[in-house]
Amino acid sequence: MNTKLKCLLLDDELPGLTYLKMLCEQIPELEVVKAFNNPEVFLSEMPGLDFDLCILDIEMPQMNGMQVANLLNGKPVIFTTAYKEYAADAFDLDAIDYVCKPVKKERLQQAVQKAVQRMDKRICVKSFVQLNTDKGKALVFFDQLCYIKSSDLDSIDKIAYLANGVTLTLKNISFENLQKHLPADEFCRINKKEIIAIKAVQLFSFDEITTNIHEKSGSFIKLTLSEVYRNDFIRKVKI
């Protein structure tokens, strides 16, 4: 990769967090976006931050690192911990690596290299995803997908709008799972009920997006841009 991996750090012990941040700043492939010592604060701020990777402590009082990792929408994770017994659980979560404390720069560098390799592979991902619909399995091509919203009939289902005017009912899938399959730089969640393709954005303001998708009446679909997802959206439309 030519660009650095943007990284979030989480460790409830301040001395350990300070030391980890110092090590990360010595690794050329990493850019530390923000360091947290509280998992609840981490999770509250995470949706508005631009990052590629998380380095998480496991043993924390309020919420352990495993629980936090399950809420990261598929973002790569490196775990750090003094407790070796967590290793199997860490790899069950498809963690990039599991680094035992005290963390050494060389060992952390090795874990980061694994993250770089995984990210490089993701650049060459296929151009479609297979999803379950009300009519069977469908191949949804990213260049045809414009917009996804929660179904009005059942929120666990989603309605996908394609460029050719076709709509698909995606069955029993969360936005979190959808985001794991979609190219992160091409799609953006804009509120609790909608994801939009960046290519479908025509105009936007502080709290509203006008798409280039027509409603049945002929007017363009307008969507709400919520505060939680605004920073991520603004970043993506500026790329």
Give tens-digit pLDDT for 25-60.
Answer: 999 999 999 999 999 999 999 888 889 899 999 888
Residue 122: which pLDDT band, with cuts at 50, 70 and 90?
Answer: low
Spatial neighbors of 102 by CB under 8 A, at least 6 apart, are: none
- From the list 84, 78, 64, the residue with the least C-alpha distance to 12 is 64
> Sheet containing 201-204: which strands, arranged edge to edge?
201-204, 208-214, 220-224
Q: 200-204 contacts: CB < 8 A, separation 24 or more? A: 200/146, 200/147, 201/237, 204/233, 204/237
Confidence of residue 85 (pLDDT cuts 50, 70, 90): low
76 & 168 share domain: no
In this structure, the answer to whether residues 52 and 143 fall within a common structural domain is no
Could you give the number of structural domains in the chain?
Answer: 2
Whether 199 and 98 share a structural domain: no
Q: Which domain holds residue 97?
A: 5-123
> Do 167 and 108 belong to one domain?
no
C-alpha 239, offset from chain centre:
17
Task: Please check whether residues 107 and 156 belong to one and the same domain.
Answer: no
d(CA 74, CA 11): 20
Are 218 and 119 in the same domain?
Answer: no
